[in-house]
Structure 1
């Protein structure tokens, strides 16, 4: 069985991942059939570069993505594109919907980042208030 999964590269404390099509029995960093993209989790926001044609090819021939790769494919709109193609939508409509999806994902990222910062500020101010009293 072919899987789409991450192959770790980089160095200690500086991970960098290739997104690869690989035989499911192969080791994590072993030989692979094809590299379809890469993922850098340490940039802000994370860098995800995937060749959509090759990803769709592997999905259509039965490759199973791991949970993490499935999330990355979803963020990039590749799973949405596949679903719309199967539904028979026009290429222009597919491109428009994928662009909207990517913008929603980007907005969600920044909205959650803002919430985390606000929560952090509330916690720090809550810790300072009892100390003053």
Structure 2
């Protein structure tokens, strides 16, 4: 069985992953059939580059993505696009749906960033309050 999975590269403490199509019996960093993308988890934000045509081909011939590979492919919107094609939508409808998906994805990202900023600020405020109370106690 062919799996779409991550293959680790890079140096110690600085991982870079290749997204590959490989036989499921091969070791993680061993023999593979084709490199179909790259993933850099240390980049801010995470960098995912995928060759959509090759992923579509491998999924079409029955390759099964691992959970992590599936989530990376999902973040690019490719799984949604393939699902729309499988449902028989026209190219114009798919393009319109993908544009809406991109907008929703950007909104989700903005919300997440706003929540992180709010949490960071709340933590700073709590630390400042703790420092002030420690000074007043002395």
TM-score (norm 2): 0.88
Larger radius of gyration: 2
Q: Which residue of 2 aligns with 1:9?
A: 9
Unaligned 5+ segments in structure 1 are none
Unaligned 5+ segments in structure 2 are 134-138
Shift of 1:61: 1.1
Whole-angstrom distance in 2 between the partners of 1:8 and 1:40? 10
RMSD over aligned CA atoms reads 1.4
Q: Which residue of 1 aligns with 2:46?
A: 46
Q: Which residue of 2 aligns with 1:71?
A: 71
Q: Which residue of 2 aligns with 1:91?
A: 91
Shift of 1:86: 0.7
User: Once superposed, which parts of structure 1, at least 4 consecutive aligned residues long, lie more than 3 Å away?
Assistant: none
What do residues 48-106 of structure 1 show as CA deviations (whole Å, max 9, x unaligned)? 11111110111111111111111111111111111101110011221222233233223
Shift of 1:113: 2.1
Q: Paired residues, what number?
A: 133
SS, match of residue 45 in structure 2: coil
TM-score (norm 1): 0.92
Whole-angstrom distance in 1 between the partners of 2:71 and 2:103? 16
Q: Are the counterparts in 2 of residues 36 and 54 from structure 1 also a CA contact under 8 Å?
A: yes
